[in-house]
Structure 1
């Protein structure tokens, strides 16, 4: 594939979502490498009533975006906002959406042409492939399933539908790239033959100023988290216990509350006085926020979803030079030399206390590990592997 090739990214997230994950970062990396990127935003799998506060404004924004057509967000990246009805559990909604998506995908293809590569993050994206020209019998388009989450395990998702779409996607795809051992096991069980397992990674250069700030300032007592504060992947009870046990430490929590969960908002929480909810952070502010942490935490509960999760923030914390305390997630076990692992709430409190006192991996070791795991390196490896499939 040449650097002037086209790629379509069928995402699970809107382009400007406050939590930027694989989809946006991979699109930016490919664009920087010279690819022409068509980024298709979320296909609205959850019903509106199950989403976070402010969802009506998101729906209005989507409607405006869809009516505007494709929009250029940066060089080499066009964003499409698909107009679909939420709540795919209803049969009539699925029928309407299937037709609507086919028409829209056909129009996008007329505008930008056929892509040589389609990266699918969202299982219902399989419904778009025909109209995008990706099912050509001559094999001119390679479809790759980039499986980075167990989406069916998230709250309020139509799990049975997602499982069916995913099975079909694995059948169609030339190969599957995953980010965690459990995801690899699952797609192989579905029949995937070509599988590339890679960890999540980090935009390492973006954290240069954060590293300098962390290296220069004296040690403090700030314990931080930056990400989605959603109870299915954020163990709030552990954080509360740690805050009560360490009253002289400050716990700073950044990110949207209740993302993807019914009836969860900041008003649902009764927090100790040393725990502060700071709200979402703009992408450009992430490094400077992390630079203020003395300990960064990943307090994930252990469940089906987190068993397959490789937290994006892990390498971001390390790239900022900040020590990490994390739950015993399977995907992170290979990095135990640069983080403190907690299996119980007592472990969690103890690990934070010890890290605040200076125990754990050195600043240099943390940064050196993060430097090995970059978007550019992972994307190049992925493209080289796809060439062979």
Structure 2
């Protein structure tokens, strides 16, 4: 009740009488969906298959599944980031739309205009096979360990936070190898400057339900930098072949990496950047705005003007 009053005071201060409200977690069906009774439109934005998180117990998965069913039935619009999520969620809400993830294309364009590389990256010999982002249970470190052992002439570069969990021992083994380089956390504004210095961008995920339903943000980052990509076979990545080199299995990842290293055609580099430009966050905002405006217009009284607060 206290939060409900706080939200109403905030809406009054912002002079928003009937806002468009976004929900981002299934649990919000019980603790948030009725907090704003005057919502003009309720939108559920699904960016993951939440029941696929590996650390959850079977009981918690069932609870999340039931919460999400309730959310899907109560909201007006559902936005999902992958085709797999669309297939899973649309049967429970006919107003489900596929809007994939995107990229800050301008940041990568600016980085590519700067010929310099960060000094710590510049000091690492080429070819550099890089991974940028959270190093978590989702990343198959065993694949990378085998690859680094078998290809000592390649340099493996990691940029980002480490939460290796059960793979902590494998991560330590990787760090002990002379051709593996962990550069730590860098400011988000500097990430494009590191990624552009990779010869290959890596998407070495553990294949599970969460990954199969995902739309990797790093995919668009690598495309924006124009670099070739080696990836496990994630459904959302397949449409970008031949600019992404897919491994048929985890054991096949080395072949995908070698294919990416050989993919040096200037026209492919340009094509990757063009694809990224079409998938900018600005383009995504336009897609979402169009969906919202269409729904508001469809539900508006005849002759009234639709405005989004």
TM category (shorter chain) comes to 0.7 to 0.9
**Correspondence for 1:371 among 255, 277, 280:** 277
Structure 2 equivalent of residue 269 of structure 1: 172
1:156 and 1:345 map into 2 onto residues whose CA distance is 22
Question: Which residue among 292, 296, 305 is the counterpart of 1:386?
Answer: 292
Q: Which residue of 1 aligns with 2:6?
A: 107
Instruction: From the superposition, tell whether residues 103 and 268 of structure 1 become closer, same or farther in structure 2 (CA, over 3 Å).
Output: farther
Give 1:167's aligned residue. 69
Equivalent position to 1:321, from 226, 232, 243: 226
- From the superposition, tell whether residues 215 and 371 of structure 1 become closer, same or farther in structure 2 (CA, over 3 Å): farther
- Write the distance in 2 (CA, Å) between the matches of 1:375 and 1:280: 23
Shift of 1:224: 0.3
Structure with the largest fraction of helix:
2
Q: Which residue does the alignment assign to 1:203?
A: 104
Give CA-to-partner distance per residue, 1:8-62, whole Å, 9 cap, x none. Answer: xxxxxxxxxxxxxxxxxxxxxxxxxxxxxxxxxxxxxxxxxxxxxxxxxxxxxxx
The gaps in structure 2 that reach 5 residues or longer are 296-309
After superposition, what is the alpha-carbon deviation per residue over 1:151-210, rounded to whole angstroms, capped at 9, x for unaligned? 221133432222122111111110111111111111123x11101112211111011133
Partner of 1:177: 79
Q: Is the 8 A contact 2:227 2:272 kept in 1?
A: yes
2:193 corresponds to 1:288: yes
Q: Aligned pair 1:118/2:21, yes or no? A: yes
SS state of the match for residue 336, structure 1?
coil
CA distance in 1, matches of 2:242, 2:70: 39
Q: Among residues 34, 57, 73, which one is paired with 1:130 in the alignment?
A: 34
1:220 positional shift: 3.1
The 3-state SS of whatever aligns with 2:144 is helix
Larger radius of gyration: 2
Q: Deviations over 1:211-252 (max 9, x none)?
A: 3357999x9310000111112x21111111211121011101
Please say if residues 257 and 266 of structure 1, whose CA atoms lie closer than 8 Å, have aligned partners that are also in contact: no
Structure-2 separation of matches of 1:264 and 1:188? 35
Which residue matches 2:237? 332
CA deviations on 1:125-144 (whole Å, 9 max, x unpaired) are: 2221222x1x34xxx42111
2:159, 2:146 → 1: CA distance? Answer: 18
Mapped to 1, the partners of 2:208 and 2:224 lie a distance apart of 27
Q: Displacement of 1:346 after TM fit?
A: 4.4
Alignment of 1:230 onto 2:230: no
The alignment's C-alpha RMSD in Å is 2.5
> Displacement, 1:265?
4.3
C-alpha change, 1:180 and 1:214, in structure 2 (3 Å) is farther
Distance 1:234 1:185 in 2: 25
Q: Which residue matches 1:52?
A: none
d(CA) in 2 for partners of 1:180, 1:299: 18
Distance 1:288 1:368, change over 3 A: same
Gaps of 5+ in 1: 1-101
Distance in 1 separating the partners of 2:149 and 2:155: 10
1:1-389 equivalences in 2 (<5 Å): 102-113=1-12, 114=16, 116-126=19-29, 127-131=31-35, 133=36, 135-136=37-38, 140-157=39-56, 158-189=60-91, 191-212=92-113, 220-231=126-137, 233-258=138-163, 261=165, 265=168, 269-271=172-174, 272-359=177-264, 362-389=268-295
SS of match in other structure, 2:241: helix
Q: Distance in 1 between matches of 2:148 and 2:155?
A: 8
